[in-house]
Amino acid sequence: MDERQLRILRELGELGSVTAVAEALLVTPSAISQQLRLLQRSIPVPLTERRGRRLVLTDAGQTLAGAAIEVESALERARRSVGEFLDRPDGEVSVAAFHSAAAAFFPLLLRALASDGAPVPRLADEDVPQEEFPRLTQEYDLVLAHRLDHAPPWPHTVSATTLLREPLDVAMPATHPLAAKRRVTPRDVADEPWITVHDGFPVMATIEAISAAAGKRLHLAHRINEFAVVAEAVAAGGGLALMPRWTTRPHPALTLRPLSGVRARRHIDALHRPERTARTAVRTVLHELHKAARTIQER
């Protein structure tokens, strides 16, 4: 049995005919009869009987119809509770981000949501290969993920909104000869040692594009994912690196130069399950992430 069948039984007890119930519920009499038959199959005793031209409830039917009132009341309370939960402006909202996005977005988000009555952020760092970001939406309300400009879109199982389209620049020591150039090309940097991410992370595709454009394999001297550590390694003379223009803190010993000849830009996207934004609190946090993105870009 289900809620609809119980409601039909209740209406039949009050109205006394299939036709009247059909008119009240705006369906056909045959649809009402079919639902009554399905309900009767789940009950071992008759629920209705004929009395002249009227179809009335048996004692068992009246008992079940009375229980239907309690069921409808309980479901209405449940719907009201869910509605109140969805409409609450506060409540916890979980947000995960890869490291450089976390460093840039989390402080701004915490400050924006510090007032009473605002959503309560629950923050976590998740540095995973690109294909694993959608899986994180099972665990978190919002997931900040990165993908390269020309990478395939995220799967249809998640909703995505772009927060930033961030250039990737070539980082080098401020004293490096290439720092005198306004832009660098793949040929300029092809003979230098490189510090780059581990395989499976988006920046590697741009490293491969530089190699293809220069016509030679790059020497990958070090594999480091955390850009703050990369910055220190570059400053110490460990090699060149691709670094995001806006979401990493400026390093006094480094110079960043734009790269010509290849597409070097990443998207920072907010991923979520479509149903998560039914909550007012989640929509509020997503709005604050967009505001934070504008602040980050304008610094």
Per-residue pLDDT of 9-52, as tens digits, reads 888 888 888 888 888 888 898 998 898 898 888 888 888 888 87
Buried b (16+ CB within 10 A) or exposed e, 238-248: bbbbbbbbbbb
User: For residue 102, is it left (φ>0), alpha (ψ between -120 and 50) or beta?
Assistant: alpha
Question: Is 73 a residue whose pLDDT tops 80?
Answer: no
Residue 234 near residue 176, CB atoms below 8 Å: no
Q: Say how far apart CA 64 and CA 2 lie, in whole Å.
A: 12
Question: Is 162 a residue whose pLDDT tops 90?
Answer: yes
The full set of domain ranges for the chain reads: 3-87, 92-298
Question: Is 1 a residue whose pLDDT tops 80?
Answer: no
CATH number of 3-87: 1.10.10.10
With the CA atoms of 290, 296, 298 and 299 taken in that order, what torsion angle do they form, in degrees rounded to the nearest 10?
160
Between 57 and 185, the more confident residue is 185
pLDDT band per the 50, 70, 90 thresholds, residue 164: very high
* Neighbouring-strand partners of residue 196: 223
What's the pLDDT score for residue 232?
A: 97
Helix or strand run (H / E) with residue 162 = strand 159-173
Q: For 233-274, what is each residue's pLDDT tens digit?
A: 999 999 999 999 999 989 999 999 999 999 999 999 999 999
Q: For 264-278, what is each residue's pLDDT tens digit?
A: 999 999 999 999 999
Q: Say how far apart CA 90 and CA 92 lie, in whole Å.
A: 7
Residue 205 near residue 126, CB atoms below 8 Å: no
Q: Which CATH architecture has domain 92-298?
A: 3-Layer(aba) Sandwich (3.40)
From the list 223, 169, 177, the residue with the least C-alpha distance to 198 is 223
Residue 91's Cβ-count burial label (10 Å; 0-12, 13-18, 19+) is: middle
Q: For 179-205, what is each residue's pLDDT tens digit?
A: 999 999 999 999 999 999 998 888 899
* Mode of pairing for the β-strands spanning 142-148 and 265-272: antiparallel
Between 83 and 47, the more confident residue is 47
What's the pLDDT score for residue 82?
A: 76
Q: Which pTM does this prediction carry?
A: 0.73
